[in-house]
Structure 1
Amino acid sequence: MNKELSIVMPCLNEAETLEFCIKKAQDYFHEYKIDGEVVIADNGSTDGSQAIAIAHGARVVTVSEKGYGSALKGGFENALGTYIIMGDADDSYDFSQLNPFIEKLREGYDVVIGNRFKGGIEKGAMPFLHRYLGNPVLSCIGRVFFNSKIGDFHCGLRGFSAEAYKKMNLTTTGMEFASEMIVKAHLINLKIAEVPTTLKKDGRSRPPHLNTWRDGWRHLRFLLLYSPKWLFLYPGIFLMLFGFICSTCLVSSPIHWKYITFDVQTLLYTMSALFVGFQLVLFYGLTKVFAVTQQLLPKSNRFDTIFKYITLEKGLILGFFLILVGITLTLFAVSFWFQNHFGTLNFRETSRVVIPAAFTIIMGIQIVLFSFFFSILGLKNSIK
C-alpha cells in the first residue's frame, strides 16, 4: 500500500539510539496526520537493531552489500512513499521536525537538502576538521564545479520524491553517496531546495562510522571525476597557454631577467608544459564522450553541437598537418647540419628548432590517435 512519506534510516549497530529515532518519526506522522512509514535499511547489524526496529513498528529491509550508499539505496528501493526523507539513526537529526522538508516537496521541489550551518550545530556535534575545513571546502568545490547554490553538501538529512530518485540513477556505495545525489540532481536539472536543519551530538557511546580522511577523499574524488572540465579541460588550457607563450618567447632568443638567463633548457620544459596541457585537453574530450555514452553524465545540446564539428577526417587533417610542420622544421635543422658537414653544431641555436620540431610531430601523432579513439567511443551514439 502506497504512503505519502517514507523515512529511511541506514542502520549498522544503532541499538543505542534507534528506538528514539523511530519514535520521533512516528510522533511526527501522528502530529501532522501524515500517512507514513519508517524503513530501517539494515546493513548487517549484530547488536539487535533489527528486533528493536520491528518492536517499535518500523519496517526492516536487509541490505547485504556493505556501505552507507548501499544501505540507503536498499531502503529507497523498498520504500512505499511518494516522498522519501533520509536521515541517520544516531539521534543527531530530529525526525519530529521535518515540516520544512515535506512542505518543499509538496510545493513541487524534487530534492530538498538540509543545511546544518544555517540551522545550528550543537557544540561537539561535528568534529572541528569537518566543520571548519572538510565540509566547507568540499561544499565550495561542489558549488564551483557544478554551479550549485547548496551550502552543505554533506548534510545527512534530506528529502526527495520517489520519481526523482529513479531519475538520478545513483550508483556509489560509500559516504560519497551524499555528494552524488546533489551532483546528479544538478546535472539532470531537478528542482532543488535547501532548508535549515539542526545537528546535535549523536547519542551513541561508540565512534561514528565516518572516517575523516578516507571518506573526505572519496567525496573529493567523486566531485573531480564527475567534472572533467575542472579535472582536465581548465588545467589543460592553462598549461597550453603558459607553455605556448613561454615557448614562443624562448624560440626567438634567450630571456634575461636580472642575473638569470632562461634558455633552451627552459624551452624544453615550457614545451613539455604545452604538451601536457594538450594531453589534458584530449583526455577531457575522451572522458566526456565516454561518460555520456555510458550514461554517467547527461548529454547536453552543447555536447551534440560541439561534436558535430570534431570528426575523424578533420582530426586526421590537423594531425598530419602538424606532423608535416614538424618534419619541415626537422629538415630545416638537418640542412644546418649538412652545411656544417655533419659536424658539431651550436647546441643553443639548433635546439630552438629541434625541440619545437620534435614536440610538433608528437602532438600531430597524438591528434591522429585521438581522432580514431574518439570516433570509436562515439560509435555507440553515432557521434561524428
Structure 2
Amino acid sequence: MPTSTIELSIVMPCLNEAETLAVCIRKARKYFEVSGVQGEVVIADNGSTDGSQAIAVAEGARVVAIANKGYGNALMGGIEAAYGTYVIMGDADDSYDFEHLDNFVERLRAGDQLVMGNRFSGGIEPGAMPPLHKYLGNPVLSWIGRVLFPSQIRDFHCGLRGFSREAILGLGLRTTGMEFASELVVKSTLAGLTMSEVPTTLKKDGRSRPPHLRSWHDGWRHLRFLLLFSPTWLFLYPGIVGFGVGILGSIALLFGPIEIGDVGFDISSQLYLAALTLVGYQAILFWLLTKLYGQREGFFLPRGRMFSSLAERATLENAALAGLASFVVGLAIAVWQVVIWAGNDFGSLDPVETMRFAVPSALLMILGAQTIMSGLFVGILTIDIKK
C-alpha cells in the first residue's frame, strides 16, 4: 500500500527468532485485517543467522537490517524506518498478543503519545515470567522509576507499547541495550508527553532456547540508567543531608564538647563531621556538573526553576570569588593559630583545643579549593561552541 496511508507500524526486534517469528507476523497481520487499520509489520533484524529474514519476507513483513547490536539499537532502527503515524513495538517471541491491540490504537487516536501495556493488570500466564522478575525485578524497578520520576506507569518494562512515532523520535533516545525500555518511559515523562496504561496479557514465549534477557546483568543496566538519569536523587538530596549534618555538627563542636544522653561528642566527632561535610559538598557539586554536562550533551535531563536560577549564578567568576572567600577565612584561622603558637614560643599546645579550630580551618580551605576548581570546570562546560 502507499506509505502515506499507513496509520500503524508494528515493529518487532529480531535476533534469531525463526521459531516464533512467523506466528507473530501472522497475528499482527490478522489484527490489521479484522480491525481495518491500515498498517505494516516491520522486522528490525539485528543480524539473525537462522533464516529469520526470509521467514519475515515470506509472511509479508518488511525487513530492516540493523547493523549495530543491541535491543535499543534494533528498536530505534525499526522505529526510524517505520512509515506509520503510530508505532506499536513488541517482542517476536510469541509472548505478546498482537491480535488484540484495540486498546492501544484507541488511546493513540485519542491523543496519547505513549501507551504502555500493563501485564500485571492484564494477566500473566503461569510460567510466562520468572518469579525473580515477577515479584522482585519488575515491581522494584518500576517503583524506583515512579519515585525518581513523576511517572504514572506501573509496569516500566512491558515490551508491548504504542506511541506516536514523531513524538518518540523527538526524545533523542540513545541507549543501545535493554535499558532502552526504561529510557523511553523516563524521557517521555520528562518531556511531558501524554501517557496512559492499558491492560495486556503475557504468555510463555514459544522459543526452545533461553531468552536474550539476562536477569541480573540487564536488571542492573536498568537500575543504573534510572539512577544516573536522576542526579537530583543520586547526588543532590544525599549531598544536602550530608553537608547539612556535617557543617552544623562541626560548628556546634567548635564551642566545646556536647553530650546527648549518655553519649559524648568531642574533637574526634568534629573531624568525622568535617569529612561528612566534604563528601556532601562534593555530591552537590557533582549534581550541578552532571546536570550542566547532561544538558550540554543533549541527554534531556530535566531543568527545573531552582536549577535554572542556580545555573545562571554558577559562573566561573562567582565560584572563584566564593571559593576564594572560603579559603581566606580558613587561612585566617590557621594564621591566628600560628600567632597563638608563636606567643607560646612554639611550644606544645593543648591538642584538643588546637584541633577544635584546626579542623574547621582545614575544612574551609578545602571547600574553597573545591569551589574554585569546580568553577573552572563549569567554565569549560559553558563555553559557547558552534553546533
TM range (shorter): over 0.9
Secondary structure of 1:168 counterpart = coil
* Mapped contact 1:90–1:204 kept (Cα < 8 A): yes
Within 2, Cα distance between the matches of 1:20 and 1:155?
A: 20
* Mapped contact 1:116–1:199 kept (Cα < 8 A): yes
Q: What aligned pairs does 1:18-97 form with structure 2 within 5 A after superposition?
A: 18-97=21-100
Please, which moves more after superposition, 25-34 or 312-321?
312-321
Matched, 1:254 2:257: yes
Matched, 1:297 2:289: no
Percent of pairs with identical residues: 55
The letter for the 2-side match of 1:149 is: Q
2:156 to 141, 153, 157: 153
Cα deviation for residue 91 of structure 1 reads 0.7
Q: What aligned pairs does 1:1-384 form with structure 2 within 5 A after superposition?
A: 1-2=3-4, 3-257=6-260, 260-297=263-300, 300=303, 302=305, 303-380=307-384
Cα deviation for residue 258 of structure 1 reads 5.6
Cα RMSD of the aligned pairs, angstroms, is: 1.6
Secondary structure of 2:170 counterpart = helix
Number of aligned pairs?
382
* Mapped contact 1:293–1:381 kept (Cα < 8 A): no
Cα deviation for residue 118 of structure 1 reads 1.1
Cα deviation for residue 257 of structure 1 reads 4.9
The letter for the 2-side match of 1:178 is: A
Cα deviation for residue 88 of structure 1 reads 0.3
* Mapped contact 2:168–2:188 kept (Cα < 8 A): no
Within 2, Cα distance between the matches of 1:378 and 1:250?
A: 39
Cα deviation for residue 17 of structure 1 reads 1.1
Cα deviation for residue 324 of structure 1 reads 1.3
* Mapped contact 2:43–2:63 kept (Cα < 8 A): yes
* Mapped contact 1:139–1:152 kept (Cα < 8 A): yes
Structure 2 segments unaligned to the other structure (5+ residues): none
Cα deviation for residue 255 of structure 1 reads 3.0
Within 2, Cα distance between the matches of 1:380 and 1:134?
A: 43
Within 2, Cα distance between the matches of 1:274 and 1:129?
A: 39
CA distances 1:352-377 after superposition (whole Å, capped 9, x unpaired) = 10011011001011111222221221
Within 2, Cα distance between the matches of 1:131 and 1:161?
A: 29
Within 2, Cα distance between the matches of 1:140 and 1:301?
A: 23
Please, which moves more after superposition, 24-33 or 49-58?
49-58
TM-score by length of 1: 0.96
Within 2, Cα distance between the matches of 1:360 and 1:300?
A: 30
Cα deviation for residue 55 of structure 1 reads 1.1
Structure 1 segments unaligned to the other structure (5+ residues): none
Secondary structure of 1:252 counterpart = coil
TM-score by length of 2: 0.95
Within 1, Cα distance between the matches of 2:355 and 2:375?
A: 30
